[in-house]
Each structure stands twice: as structure tokens, then as C-alpha cells.
């Protein structure tokens, strides 16, 4: 998810019908520049090289979202006949419309990963690894990050572990899987919002790090030198 304001100008976007390595390409109606969904960057036109501001979002179930935000509004998707037309695509092993650009068999073609890229270093956190670990204190390109995953609903978020001048390490609370505890101060944190709810750090918030939940074939085609957590590093 990205903000639509760019250089004090509000843009509106549409689907161009184009793909770059099987990833959606958008266009803005004001300049007709093309934008990569995955990169959040204009790849052609007057805005080429311009980046969109990342906005934190959640990939989760409708039930989990309603629990967090009971007054939420929802977009009616309006599938004909009530059937999601993409079901067959998700169930197949095909690598998108145009196939893989680069072959990499470290993971299955359509295995879901949480992709993170920091200062040119890319790393993929496979769902199957996170399903057993659920939380990872990691360091990528010198930045201390926290990856949190809930296999029950496929929710994954990534945070900066630094709060002020202190770098924290976390564990999952034994009492509530959606609650974290930092080892340095013993404060408790809401894992889905990154907010400290009690203890010395109460009122503090963890900063979200840009991450993408994506098929393996889409991630590695854009990040050919990506690391894979649980295989290349652990």
C-alpha cells in the first residue's frame, strides 16, 4: 500500500494491463507514467525514478481485521456468481502469465514469502519456516528487524527493533500469541500494531518496515540475489 501524494501532487492510479516479470504495472492518470506495484516506483514516463511513500498495511483474514476494527468499511468485490475468479490460479503451480524469468528451486514456485529489501539486501522469509518459528529477531544490512507471523490467518508484519537509542529483542508471550515481550525491559507489545501496552516502554511504538507478502517466483524474479531465511541463514 502506498500514498498517492507525490511531490505535493495527488495522483490517481489504474491498471495498465502490463506486467513486469509477472508483477502488476500501474499507471497514473495525471502523467500516464508507469509504476511497478512491487517496487512502488515509476519505471517509465515523466515520473520515472520517483518512489511512492510506503504505508503500513496487513495481509490477514476478514475475521481478524473485523476484530481489530469492528467499525471498518469493506470494498465489495462483486464476483459474478459469488466465486473468486482467481481460485484456479492460486491452486495451480504456474508461474504467472509469462512464466519465470529466472529459475531458482530453493522454494516451490508459489510458496508464499514475506519479502524484505533494505539498502539493496533482499531476504525472503518463507511461510513454512515462519509457521514453526512465528517470530524472528534478525539483522538485515545492518538494520535490526523483527518479523512476526501468525499461521492461523497468514498475517505477517515486519518492524524496526530500535526504539530511540535502544535495540530490543523479543519473544512471544506464553499467555497470548498476539502479545510480545521485549527481553531488555520486560515490556509487553501488541504484535499486530507494534505498540507497547505495559511496562517501561508503554506508549512507545515500533516502526513498520516495508515488506511484501508475495509468491516466491515473483520475489526472486525481481531480487535474483535474495537470501532465504531458514536455508541461506537462520
Residue-level pLDDT, tens digit, the chain, 234 residues: 999 999 889 999 999 988 887 788 999 999 999 999 888 999 999 999 999 998 888 888 888 888 888 999 888 766 565 566 556 666 666 666 666 778 888 999 889 999 999 999 999 999 999 999 889 999 999 999 999 998 888 889 999 999 999 999 999 987 777 899 999 999 999 998 999 999 999 999 999 999 999 999 889 988 999 999 998 876
What's the pLDDT at 90?
A: 61
Report the CATH architecture of 112-228.
Answer: 3-layer Sandwich (2.102)
Query: pTM of this prediction?
Result: 0.84
The answer to whether 4 touches 10, Cβ cutoff 8 Å, is yes
**Three-state SS at 205:** strand
φ, ψ for residue 47, nearest 5 deg: -95, 10
Enclosing H/E stretch for 131: helix 127-133
The Cβ of residue 105 has, within 10 Å, a number of other Cβ atoms equal to 7
Going from N- to C-terminal start, the domains of the chain cover: 5-44, 112-228
- What is the number of other CB atoms lying within 10 angstroms of the CB of residue 180? 25
Pairing of the two strands 23-28 and 34-36: antiparallel
The reported pLDDT for the residue numbered 98 is: 65
Q: What nine digits make up the cell of 123?
A: 531476504
Q: What are φ and ψ of residue 151, in 5° steps?
A: -65, -25
d(CA 159, CA 191): 10
CA distance 194 to 208: 8
Amino acid at each position: 500500500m502506498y500514498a498517492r501524494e507525490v511531490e505535493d501532487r495527488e495522483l490517481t492510479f489504474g491498471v495498465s494491463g502490463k506486467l513486469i516479470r509477472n508483477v502488476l504495472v500501474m499507471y497514473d492518470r495525471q502523467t500516464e507514467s508507469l509504476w511497478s506495484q512491487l517496487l512502488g516506483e515509476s519505471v517509465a514516463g515523466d515520473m520515472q525514478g520517483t518512489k511512492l511513500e510506503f504505508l503500513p498495511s496487513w495481509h490477514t483474514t476478514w475475521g481478524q481485521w473485523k476484530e481489530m476494527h469492528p467499525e471498518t468499511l469493506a470494498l465489495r468485490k462483486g464476483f459474478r456468481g459469488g466465486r473468486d475468479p482467481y481460485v484456479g490460479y492460486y491452486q495451480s503451480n504456474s508461474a504467472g502469465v509469462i512464466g519465470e524469468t529466472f529459475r531458482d528451486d530453493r522454494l516451490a514456485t508459489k510458496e508464499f514469502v514475506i519479502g524484505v529489501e533494505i539498502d539493496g539486501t533482499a531476504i525472503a522469509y518463507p511461510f513454512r519456516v515462519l509457521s514453526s518459528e512465528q517470530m524472528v529477531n534478525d539483522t538485515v544490512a545492518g538494520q535490526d528487524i523483527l518479523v512476526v507471523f501468525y499461521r492461523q490467518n497468514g498475517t505477517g508484519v515486519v518492524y524496526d527493533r530500535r526504539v530511540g537509542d535502544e535495540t530490543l529483542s523479543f519473544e512471544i508471550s506464553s499467555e497470548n500469541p498476539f502479545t510480545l515481550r521485549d527481553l531488555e525491559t520486560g515490556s509487553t507489545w501488541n504484535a499486530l500494531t507494534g505498540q507497547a501496552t505495559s511496562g517501561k516502554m508503554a506508549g512507545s511504538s515500533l516502526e513498520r518496515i516495508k515488506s511484501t507478502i508475495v509468491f516466491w517466483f515473483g520475489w526472486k524474479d525481481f531480487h535474483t540475489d535474495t537470501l532465504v531465511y531458514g536455508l541461506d541463514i537462520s
